[in-house]
């Protein structure tokens, strides 16, 4: 399953491809209008002097066909950081090869390596296939927590 693609940390030269994948993700979600960022800003936030996020790339046929972008949150009770997975996307024509599951495994191993206490992400509550998959890989869904947001 793992011989058709490789996962690796992103490099500065990947930023354009990652931004294209972000746009493909938005298109898939019918949210293209919501992509108002720029490849320059992404470059700065991934690889600048003050990085805010990290990314990994799934490569197949010599091109980036998927990515995951994550940041770190923090548990004050554990006094340990956690990985927060912001985005995971695989181009539709490269699905059903196990790339998504391999990305979760890669990030879980990275989290353990960096002494993180947990790994978290969000899901829409009506997305039953995704929730079933997350249960299958050992995740719990925090039923009674809601995310609050102020937008600037």
Residue numbers at the binding site for a copy of itself (CB under 8 A): 19, 22, 25-26, 31, 34-39, 41-42, 45, 52-53, 69, 71-81, 84, 86-87, 108, 111-112, 116-126, 131, 134, 137-152
Alpha carbons 149 and 127: distance in angstroms, whole number? 21
Torsion of CA 95, 91, 42, 151, to 10 degrees: -90
Comparison of 98 and 108: residue with beta carbon closer to a copy of itself = 108
Closest approach of Cβ 71 to a copy of itself, in Å? 5
Burial tier of 68 (Cβ tally within 10 Å: 0-12, 13-18, 19+): buried
* Shortest CB 21 distance to a copy of itself, Å: 9
Query: Which of helix, strand or coil describes residue 80?
Result: strand
Closest CB to a copy of itself among residues 98, 117 = 117
Q: Which residues are tagged catalytic?
A: 134
Closer by beta carbon to a copy of itself, 4 or else 74: 74
Find the shortest distance in angstroms from Cβ 4 to a copy of itself: 25
Residues comprising the chain, all counted: 152
Where does residue 6 rank: exposed (0-12), middle (13-18), buried (19+ CB within 10 A)?
A: exposed
59 token code pair = 């490569």
Question: In the complex, what is the shortest distance from the CB of residue 88 to a copy of itself, in angstroms, rounded to a whole number?
Answer: 11
Residue closer to a copy of itself by CB (options 4, 37) is 37
């Amino acid at each position: 399953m793992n011989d058709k693609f490789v996962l690796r940390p992103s490099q500065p030269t990947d930023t354009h491809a990652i931004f294209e994948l972000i746009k493909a993700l938005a298109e898939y979600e019918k949210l293209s209008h919501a992509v108002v960022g720029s490849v320059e800003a992404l470059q700065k936030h991934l690889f600048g002097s003050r990085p805010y996020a990290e990314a990994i790339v799934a490569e197949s046929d010599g091109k980036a066909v998927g990515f995951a972008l994550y940041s770190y949150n923090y548990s004050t009770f554990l006094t340990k950081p956690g990985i927060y997975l912001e985005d995971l996307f695989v181009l539709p024509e490269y699905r059903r090869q196990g790339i998504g599951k391999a990305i979760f495994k890669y990030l879980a191993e990275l989290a353990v390596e960096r002494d993180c206490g947990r790994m978290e992400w969000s899901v829409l509550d009506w997305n039953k296939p995704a929730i079933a998959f997350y249960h299958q890989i050992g995740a719990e869904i925090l039923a009674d927590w809601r995310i609050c947001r102020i937008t600037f």
